[in-house]
Amino acid sequence: MAGSHNKLSPPRWLLAELTYSCPLQCPYCSNPLDYAQLSSELSTDDWKRVLKQSREMGAVQLGFSGGEPLVRKDLVELVDYSHELGYYTNLITSGYNMDEAKIIALKEAGLDHIQISLQASSKELNDFIAGTESFEHKKETAKLIKKHGYPMVLCVVLHRQNIHQMKDILDMAIELGADFVELANTQYYGWAHHNRDQLMPSQEQLQNAEVIAKEYQASQQGRMKIYYVVPDYYEGRPKACMNGWGTTFLTIAPDGLALPCHSARQLPNFDCPSVRDHSISDIWNTSTAFNYFRGNDWMKEPCKSCPEKEKDFGGCHCQAFLLTGDAKNADPVCDLSPQHHTVTDAIEQASKTSQTGEKALLFRNTKNSKLFNH
């Protein structure tokens, strides 16, 4: 059961962040701002050990992510190995630099599914947000993915600069033959948090977008599944983060840090364990980091006495830390949180920025990342 100390559930989902390298520069990237200074990447053998140990624990869904996982020379070898272990393998990619030979090689290695991202429905905006000319190439890649029989998720991250394209984005998804569309409103971690004033849409923009999403959900029923991920800053209650801390998800970062959620690295004094030093079973069962928010003992008010605490587990701890400075506070997205004003202030601040002219977006690249070295 989620959140229970007594009966530890095994990890079901392994997110393998193979690298922080990426040819794109999306300003809403969830990678850490200071990724450029993080130590060297795990070797192929390290990854194989992680994959085997996690599978033995019970992990069955596997996402290869990054950065851009295609940058890793051993991607096909890792897919092949994972397929042999019995994982359902998902590649989460920008599609950039993915040619037909690679699509075929991955298929032969047993890759089950590809999620490809586009940044917008028009070339001009896509290439601006991606920081790289990539629109036509990505669309060609999407067609090749379908040509070779993969199920395909098309992912578009939504924010103030592209949310008006909702209808065109969905028409594009139909044209490309997507089986699933993930319309994910930006979540404000990493680079997205830094660029929040320039990315956060207004309530009105969101309402318009949601109406369109619902129309298409109805008209595409049975053909294309559309997931619309709501932006939590505008919700009165927090999301049940990671389905409960240390209950389901295990992320391994490029440098080998094991994270209960992919933002957990930023939590201070958290001491996330590395797969270079510990087995997955030790990390999952006994590490301080993975046990930190299991159960309810860590909770403060208003979560401690809240009737909904088994539903949302207090929300997102990384968000609580980012906005209130203490990860043990209630996620301030919750309107019961005494710090809820940090969210409403952020909305107001973003609205002012949109009216007074845009501040420049800070694009995610190595040069900009070095600004955050400490």
**DSSP string covering 285-337:** HH-HHHHTTSSSTT--TTTTT-TTHHHHTTS-HHHHHHHHS-TTSPPTTSTTS
Q: Is position 179 an interface residue for another protein (rule: CB under 8 A)? A: yes
**Is the Cα torsion angle 256, 261, 267, 271 positive or negative in sign?**
negative
- In the region spanning residues 220 to 259, those forming contacts with another protein, defined by CB under 8 A, are 222, 225
Nearer to another protein, 56 or 345 (CB): 56
Among 14, 18, 57, 78, binds another protein (CB under 8 A): 57
Among 2, 23, 74, 88, binds another protein (CB under 8 A): 88
Q: Is position 149 an interface residue for another protein (rule: CB under 8 A)? A: yes
Q: Which stretch binds another protein (CB under 8 A): 59-67, 71-79, 231-239, 278-286?
A: 59-67
**H-helix or E-strand spanning residue 16:** strand 13-17
Nearer to another protein, 24 or 154 (CB): 154
Q: Is position 58 an interface residue for another protein (rule: CB under 8 A)? A: yes
Q: Is position 7 an interface residue for another protein (rule: CB under 8 A)? A: no
- For the chain, what's the residue count? 374
The one-letter amino acid at 119: Q
**Of the candidates 284, 278, 311, 318, which has an alpha carbon nearest to the alpha carbon of residue 296?**
311
Nearer to another protein, 46 or 179 (CB): 179
Nearer to another protein, 58 or 338 (CB): 58
CA-CA distance, 266 to 185, in Å (whole number)?
A: 22
CA-CA distance, 153 to 282, in Å (whole number)?
A: 34
Among 4, 8, 10, 97, binds another protein (CB under 8 A): 10
Q: Which stretch binds another protein (CB under 8 A): 21-29, 68-76, 85-93, 269-277?
A: 85-93
Among 8, 12, 274, 328, binds another protein (CB under 8 A): 12
Nearer to another protein, 57 or 129 (CB): 57
> What is the nearest approach in angstroms of another protein to the Cβ of residue 58?
3
CA-CA distance, 113 to 133, in Å (whole number)?
A: 25
Look-up: residue for tokens 């070295």? 373
Q: Is position 52 an interface residue for another protein (rule: CB under 8 A)? A: no
Strand order in the sheet with 249-252: 225-229, 180-185, 152-158, 113-118, 88-93, 61-65, 13-17, 249-252, 258-259
CA-CA distance, 62 to 85, in Å (whole number)?
A: 11
Three-state DSSP state, 337 = coil
Site for another protein, rule CB under 8 A: 10, 12, 56-58, 60-61, 63, 86, 88, 90, 112-113, 115, 149-151, 153, 179-180, 222, 225
